[in-house]
Amino acid sequence: MGICLAAKEAGYRIPEDFLVTGFDNENKASYFSPRITTIGFSKADIMYNALQLFTRIWEHNADSIHTYASVEHVFQESCGCVSSSPADRGQYVANSIMSEVHQSDMQNWMMELDRFLLDCSSFTELAEHLHTWLDEHNCGNICLLMNPDIFLLENIDALLEVPDDIYLHNRYPEHMTVVYPHTAADRTELNTSKGTLLPYASISDKHNIYLFSPVHFREREVGYLIMENCDYLLEHQFLFEMLNTFRTAVEALYGRLILHKKNKQLSQLYIHDSLTGLYNRMAYEKLALPLFQQYMQKGRPVGILFADADHLKYIQHRRIPHRNVP
């Protein structure tokens, strides 16, 4: 179409001055003026042939690494031919309007998903909200598997320290935690080293299509997401936006969990003596006084001991024996 427009601006006529042909057989070609001759093909056939070739290569049974899909010649006005079944330009306008409506709806849905995910407080809740959203948009089940070290951050208060870097940069660990779906209190782990990537496969009469997508923060791997029968998102080209929204929510949650842990550690340092580890005066004002007032209001006996030792650092220094350095 770009060539046709440029030719018209330069004073040339198509097909009188030269012929134009395209490829892909996009809908726009049939609604353009002149209607553009093109080549049509089936993406489903190409995918099928590619998978067949991949299977033969995997089984070391491929006679050739090339395969060819069938094509269809669509002769139209840009090569001087007459279209056998010209498209209705009015229908094209109607379809374009409906496409814009679908795009607007999906944009609203994506903003809704972003709001729901950013309010989550755990990786499990993230997956549950995503599954609910996908279920409302004609998608099937999902599975979320994560690096076990990262998933431990859900119970970050129970961790003494958070490692500086808990990511693997070159591959997934051999054992992945099944974050979603889960049916028991104890999380199950999947041994990916044995070639098992799907924690379960629903047994049904129909065939299911599973889409595997990595979940990562730039070069840092987190895990992978499995979606079942997400045709709707694929057809409307919103799969990438959905995955990007989910990854952003996972990264934001990770940052909030780490910040919560650091703030709690800082708060503990604030109310503990650095030498003895005992509560200091700040802890007395923050913890002991409210407790004392609470007991006094209830008429219950309570006692608070506050001690101050002079030259404690000197005593601590004398208690540590000096090493004789030769």
Cβ neighbors of 141 (< 8 A, separation 6 or more) are: 131, 181, 202, 228
Domain ranges of the chain: 2-87, 95-266, 281-319
Angle in degrees, 0-180, between the axes of helices 239-271 and 89-118, rounded to the nearest 10? 10
pLDDT for position 325: 44
> What are the phi and psi torsion angles at 189 (to 5°)?
-120, 145
User: In the chain, at which residue ranges do the beta strands (DSSP E only) sit?
Assistant: 38-41, 71-74, 142-146, 175-180, 189-191, 210-217, 220-228
Instruction: For the chain, 326 residues long, give each residue's pLDDT as a single digit of tens.
Output: 778 888 888 888 888 888 888 887 777 777 777 888 888 888 888 888 888 888 888 888 877 777 777 888 888 888 888 777 766 667 777 777 777 777 777 778 788 888 888 888 888 888 888 888 888 877 778 888 888 877 777 776 666 666 555 555 567 778 888 888 876 555 677 777 777 777 765 555 677 788 888 888 767 778 888 888 887 777 767 788 888 888 888 888 888 888 887 887 787 777 887 777 788 878 878 888 888 888 888 888 887 777 777 776 666 666 555 545 44
pLDDT for position 168: 55
143: which DSSP letter? E
CA pseudo-torsion sign 149, 154, 156, 157: negative
Q: Please check whether residue 202 is in contact with residue 140, taking contact to mean a CB–CB distance below 8 angstroms.
A: no
pLDDT for position 315: 67
List 224's β-bridge partners, or say none: 145, 214
pLDDT for position 321: 56
pLDDT for position 74: 83
pLDDT for position 192: 76
Write out the CATH class of domain 95-266: alpha beta
pLDDT for position 12: 87
Q: How many other C-beta atoms can be found within 10 angstroms of the C-beta atom of residue 151?
A: 22
Encoded tokens for 91: 């229908």
279: which DSSP letter? B
pTM of the model as a whole: 0.61
pLDDT for position 167: 56
